[in-house]
Structure formats: structure tokens, C-alpha cells
Chains A and B, each alone.
Chain A
Amino acid sequence: MSKAFIAVLRRDLLLAWRSRADLLVALSFFVVVASLFPFGVGSDPDQLRAIGPGVVWVAALLATLLALPRMFSQDFDSGVLEQLLLSQEPPVVWVSAKIAAHWLSTGLPLVVVSPLLALMYGLKPSAIEVLALALLIGTPILSLIGAIGAALTLGLRGAGSLLALLVLPLMVPVLIFGAGSVDAWASGIGLRAHLLLMGGGLFAALALAPFASAAALRITMD
């Protein structure tokens, strides 16, 4: 069982590495979107510091969304997905592997780049650490929720915007606690509650989302 997980994970990571130009596009999108806000709201440092965490989170959400259709579509087109469904492995195993690979190739880079953006918004070093930590816990949840939507909209016309409509409302809690953790830390309330809740959310998503995604894929491929 874990063998199949590792095999699929390895394969997907290798494929992601081969098409790293696409991943760079999503990452650039993240940086560009986050850099747009000052042009819209002005360059007042205090204001930017206040909105910084939220902006970085919203940009991360959108960048994740942009990369989501890739999660299954290539394998859907090439017929690999069908073969995987016909194999003896329980779908949950390889679906989890695919989600993990997707996060490692699209979510993790966002976490790594986020401190740069936070610097541009004038966040304090300790706030930057908090933001990165929150993104580290939160972006996997985004990938997990997104996987359900990606599986449901697979192969549809206008899948991209449909996917956004489906999963963005579901991602709001992650946004609230993710961006809120920096505010909570800055205002001296403490991080504990936020991080615990996000951790709880991550475990819940880990426990439920792969099953829902696997069920959705089965429906799609039926």
C-alpha cells in the first residue's frame, strides 16, 4: 500500500519537475498578484503592514487555484487515471499521493517565497515567521479541499472558473485562520488557538478529502 503511495508520489514529482516552467508560472502569479495591491490601495507603510498577511494569503489561495486543474487533468487525458482506477490499489492511496505531490510542487514553493512578499509589505521578522508557519499548515488544506473540486470538474468545459466557484467558499475558513494568526500574534493574543484550529483542520481534511476526491474521480471516470 505504501509502495503504491511512494511510486505515485515519485512519478508525479518527476513529472512536475519536468514541467517546472508551468510551476514557475503559478509561482510568478502568486508574486505578481501580491505585488498589485499597493498600486491599488496606496503605499502607506502602516496600511500595507496591516493588510500584508491577508494579501499574501489571498494571493496564495488564487495561485493554488490556478494550479489545481493540473492535479488530475494530465493523467486524465493520457488515460493513466483510468488505469490507476482499474488497478488493485485502493484509490485513496494514490489519490493521497497525487495530492501530496501537488502540494509539494505548488504549495510548498508558495510557503518558501512568502517571506519575500512579507518583507515587501514591511512585516516584522517574527511576523514573517508566523505567516510562513501558517502557510505551511494551511496550504496543504487548500490542496486537499481543491482536490475534491478538481476531481469533480475534470474534463468539463470552463472547468477553471467552475472550480473557483466550487472551492473558494470552502477555503474561507483557512483564509480566516491563516491570515488571522498573524494578527493574533501581533496583537498579543497568542498563536496557540489559531495554530491548533488549523492543525485540527488539516487533520480533518487529511482524513476526509482523499476519500471524497477518490469518490469524485470514480464518478467522473464512470
Chain B
Amino acid sequence: MNLFKFSSPQTFYSLAGKLAPAFGVIAAVLAAIGLYISFFVAPTDAVQGEVYRIIFIHVPAAWMSMVIYLAMAFWSAIGLGLGTRVSFYMSKALAPTGALFCFLALWTGALWGRPTWGTYWAWDARMTSQLLLLFLYFGHIALTNAIEDARRADKAGAIIALVGAVNIPVIYFSVKWWNTLHQGSSINLTKISVVNTMLIGMLIMALAAWAYSIAVALVRVRSIILERERRTEWAGVEIAAQGGRA
């Protein structure tokens, strides 16, 4: 199989068009199963009661926000290394969804923290790193939008994605270090006893989030490809064919 074949925007455009609905269906089915397990199969937690059920979106959202940033860095590295335009497009298409999951992780964390820790926000290592990750997303999106020259925007976004990815472990480690030195507040992470059904529910929800992210990124990348390749012949044909219906 020739992987470079898919690096042509035209091939990737039609491939994305075929794959996006498939991933969308997978996401919907997995989410339905996951939600059923979350609410009807997983038992009530002995310590936290029902509120722990937030875990089924909180943890997948937090995972996804990190995975997507790494995926952006991965596409950026490929784009800078091989000069494939599609890689940059993918990186750009992933960013809003990553920011969305990052925000959701913070939001659900706050709503989970209030009844269990008695506070919406704590300067806990994980929460703080998550907040900084959200800032990294904002920075990436703001930078790529601020640069008018599309190619410069691509490459600049790639550099900041890579620099951010290198920094994420440093940020996490430093925040953790800082947190252990400043353990002033009286917050104890009340452990929940993870039972198998919970773990399975969480994993299925995480897989649903994966499939959703892929589907959404593929749809978004199609718009980006059309926009950027509009002067090529195939894109012109596609625009003429689809534009009439829109």
C-alpha cells in the first residue's frame, strides 16, 4: 500500500468523505452502549453515591484532550518533515475538538468536585495542567487564525504544537511538584472503588469519544481542504457540483 497516495489532498478529501459517516455511526453506537452502562449497569458507588457517574464523561474527555494535542503534534511533525499539506490540515481540523474536550474535562471536573470535595476548583496538579492545556489550545487556534498567509499559518501552528507537546510533560511534572509542596488545602481525593462495569463503561465512552473526534475532524478537514485547494481543477469541479446544492 502506498501511504503517500493518501497525502494527496484530493484522495484524502474523498477518503475523509467516506470514513467520516462510518466513524460517526460507530461513535453514536458506542455512546449509546456506554451511556446505558453508565446509568443502568454500573452500580451506585458506596462512598460517592450517584454523582460519580460524571466519571464516564470526565475521564474520556480528559484523555481525549491530551490524545488530540499529541495527534496535532504528530501531524505537525509529519507536515514539517515531509511537507505534506494534508498533515497541516488535519492538525488544524483537530484543534477545536481538542479544546472542546479540554473544556469539558474542566467543566465536569468542577461539577464533580463540588459535591465530593466541597469545591468547584482546586489548584490540584491534574486540574491545573488541564487548564494550561486549554490555554495551549487557545494559543494554537488564535495563532493559526491570526496569520493571513495560509502556508505560514500551517507551519507556525505546527511549530507551536510541537513546542507545546514537548512542554506538556514538563508542565505536568512541575505542577505536580508545586502541588505537593503547597498542600495547604484540606482536599482529599476520595477514592472510588472502581469495579469492572465502571471500567468497561469508561472505556466504551472513551472509544466513543475517539470515534467522534475522528469523525468531526474528518468533516472539518474536508471544508479546510476545499478552501485551500480551491484553485486546483478537482476542487473546482467539486465546488461546482456541491455548491449548487448548498
A and B touch in the complex (CB under 8 A): yes
Q: Which residues of A pack against B, CB within 8 Å?
A: 148-149, 152-153, 156-158, 162, 165-166, 168-170, 172-173, 176-177, 180, 183-184, 189, 201, 208, 212, 215-216, 219-220, 222
Contacts of A180 in B (CB 8 A): 177-178, 181
Contacts of B139 in A (CB 8 A): 162, 165-166, 169
C-alpha gap A48/B139 in the complex (Å): 33
Set A169, A173, A177, A220: member contacting B156, Cβ < 8 A? A220
Contacts of B166 in A (CB 8 A): 208
B178 and A176 form a contact (CB under 8 A): yes
Contacts of B143 in A (CB 8 A): 152-153, 162, 166
Query: A148-B159, A180-B178 are known contacts. Are A156 and B136 too (CB-CB below 8 A)?
Result: no
C-alpha gap A220/B157 in the complex (Å): 11
A156 and B147 form a contact (CB under 8 A): yes
Interface size on B, residues (CB 8 A): 29
Set A172, A183, A216, A222: member contacting B171, Cβ < 8 A? A172
Set A201, A208, A219: member contacting B152, Cβ < 8 A? A219
C-alpha gap A152/B178 in the complex (Å): 30
Answer whether residue B167 sits at the interface, using C-beta atoms and an 8 A cutoff.
yes
Contacts of B160 in A (CB 8 A): 148-149, 152, 166
Task: Give the distance to chain B from A163, nearest Cβ to Cβ, in Å.
Answer: 9
Number of A-B pairs whose CB atoms are under 8 Å? 79
Answer whether residue B151 sits at the interface, using C-beta atoms and an 8 A cutoff.
yes
Secondary structure of the A contact surface, majority rule:
helix
C-alpha gap A168/B181 in the complex (Å): 22
B171 and A169 form a contact (CB under 8 A): yes
Having A208-B166, A212-B163, one finds 18 other A-B pairs with CB under 8 Å, namely A148-B160, A156-B146, A157-B146, A158-B146, A162-B142, A162-B143, A162-B146, A165-B138, A165-B139, A165-B142, A169-B136, A170-B164, A173-B170, A173-B174, A189-B181, A212-B162, A216-B156, A219-B156
Identify the 5 closest CB pairs spanning chains A and B, nearest first: A173-B174, A169-B135, A219-B155, A166-B139, A176-B178
C-alpha gap A222/B154 in the complex (Å): 12
Answer whether residue B235 sits at the interface, using C-beta atoms and an 8 A cutoff.
no
Answer whether residue B239 sits at the interface, using C-beta atoms and an 8 A cutoff.
no
Cross-chain pairs A/B with CB under 8 angstroms, 27 sampled? A148-B160, A149-B160, A152-B156, A152-B160, A156-B146, A162-B143, A162-B146, A165-B139, A165-B142, A166-B139, A166-B160, A169-B167, A170-B136, A170-B163, A170-B167, A173-B167, A173-B171, A176-B175, A201-B170, A212-B162, A215-B80, A215-B159, A219-B152, A219-B155, A219-B159, A222-B152, A222-B155
Please, which residue of chain A has its CB at the minimum distance from the CB of B164? A170
B151 and A222 form a contact (CB under 8 A): yes
Contacts of B174 in A (CB 8 A): 172-173, 176-177
Contacts of A215 in B (CB 8 A): 80, 159
Contacts of A165 in B (CB 8 A): 135, 138-139, 142
C-alpha gap A154/B166 in the complex (Å): 22
Residue with the highest number of chain B CB atoms closer than 10 Å, among A157, A162, A177: A162
Set B80, B135, B159, B167: member contacting A152, Cβ < 8 A? B159
Answer whether residue B132 sits at the interface, using C-beta atoms and an 8 A cutoff.
yes
Contacts of A168 in B (CB 8 A): 135
C-alpha gap A189/B181 in the complex (Å): 10
Query: A152-B160, A156-B147 are known contacts. Are A169 and B132 too (CB-CB below 8 A)?
Result: yes
Contacts of B147 in A (CB 8 A): 156
Contacts of B138 in A (CB 8 A): 165
Task: Give the distance to chain A from B96, nearest Cβ to Cβ, in Å.
Answer: 16
Please, which residue of chain B has its CB at the minimum distance from the CB of A189? B181
State which residues 79-101 of B face A: CB under 8 Å: 80
B159 and A216 form a contact (CB under 8 A): yes
C-alpha gap A222/B147 in the complex (Å): 13
C-alpha gap A215/B77 in the complex (Å): 13
B132 and A172 form a contact (CB under 8 A): yes
C-alpha gap A153/B162 in the complex (Å): 16
